[in-house]
Amino acid sequence: MTIRITKQAETYLEALTNALEIPPSRYEQAEKSYKSLGDWFHRKESSVRDFDPDVFVQGSFRLGTVIKPQSEDEEYDVDCACSLTYLDNSKLSQANLKELLGDEIKLYRKSRGITKEVHEGRRCWRLEYADGAQFHMDLVPCIPNGHDQRRILETKNLDARFADTAIAITDNEVLPQYFQITDDWQRSNPRGYAEWFKARMGDVFVRRREQIFNEMRAKGITASVEEIPTYRVRTPLQVAIMILKRHRDVMFANNTEEKPISIIISTLAAHAYQGEESIGYALLSILSRMEEAIEHDGQKFIIKNPTDALENFADKWEEHPERAQAFFSWLEQARMDFANVGHLVEHQRMSSVLANRMGRNLTEQVSNNILRSSGPGTSGLLGAATVASATSVPSVSFSDAPRNPKKPDGFA
């Protein structure tokens, strides 16, 4: 089945993106919060100051793929990490590191008058801000692990391009290692992943960041291109992920256990993205190729971490096969829904198609925003139009033939 993207569908998906986006002030608020915590760790009285604590944001806030919560009752989840630069796993256990940073976070909470207690999670400490802030910060204690990561990957002839920014993180469910002084820690590399993600955005990211830089310079704002954060640059890949995450959230609103996790959606979408310039074409192109980076070795599904081929983002699918089934069901539904939208020319019909998939409040907001933007006396946006008005972007094909994940090519 071949789908063409109408101009009206492109307009609708752009308006949908605008409705999903969080305001820049939310990113700035998150940045201000984790920098404030970093300053606290570096204060004169800090018990971790001599270890040169390095606080940085990770996850969707770093990638620029955060979406608005569906209701005022939900909070933004700001994922951060704190790496103690001058510590290594020969000097302390995971439990020691977790407690060391936890004590400082608890002191920070009291000093800032934050009423909610600090909560300990499996890998992180959660700092709950005031109700009006509508966000919390999850801070993962960690130590640098670049040298060991490079050694492990190169020993197995694996890609080690991103190894230098790797970290070792705490995990209180990994026993008995959690309480032991050992080099057997969980690995992660959020900075490396963000660099890989940026590379997948390719020239589109470079051009759009350059455009922002020129606009800032025209306004007399001094900054280098490199200082412009990823979240200020909006590419079709970022937008497609935002749309797919909301579609996923609505579809699994009553089944959160089987909900496809964001790192899988982001990774598969980034692999599938091929530099498409428009939102609609990027979205449909990504959906058409999204499972191509999923491998199967005859026993289990494999979605490799692009910064660490030894990590499988789909490792839970083997123990919970229903999660794999849920992912493929969701992917099929998303393909169907956005293919249907892609050939439509009336925005109200698009909202009808997506109301139960993206949330009725959201689709009504999108329709109203388009109607207001069309201006009085303008019927072109919401009126009927011919399919001949489709954009000139190439068609996207969704084959009727079943698609199977490929077998691993090996780790070489």
Beta-strand relationship, 295-296 and 301-302: antiparallel
Residues facing 79 on adjacent strands: 138
pTM equals 0.88
* Whole-number pLDDT of residue 401: 45
Q: How far is the C-alpha of 13 from the C-alpha of 362, rounded, in Å?
A: 12
Q: How many CB atoms are closer than 10 A to CB 102?
A: 17
Mean pLDDT of the 295-303 span: 95
Average pLDDT, the chain: 88
| Distance (Å) of CA 395 to CA 3, 4, 282, 284, 343 | 6, 5, 11, 9, 11
Mean pLDDT of 72-83: 88
For the chain, domain boundaries: 2-20+234-397, 24-190
For residues 67 and 130, the model is more confident at: 67
In CATH terms, 24-190 corresponds, of 3.30.460.10, 3.40.50.970, 3.90.230.10, 3.60.20.10, to 3.30.460.10
pLDDT tens, position by position, 156-169:
999 999 999 999 99
pLDDT at 6 over 50: yes
H-type alpha helices, 219-303 = 236-251, 262-272, 279-289
Going by pLDDT thresholds of 50, 70 and 90, the confidence category of residue 11 is: very high
pLDDT digits (tens, 9 = 90+) for 332-356: 999 999 999 999 999 999 999 999 9
pLDDT average, residue stretch 121-132: 86
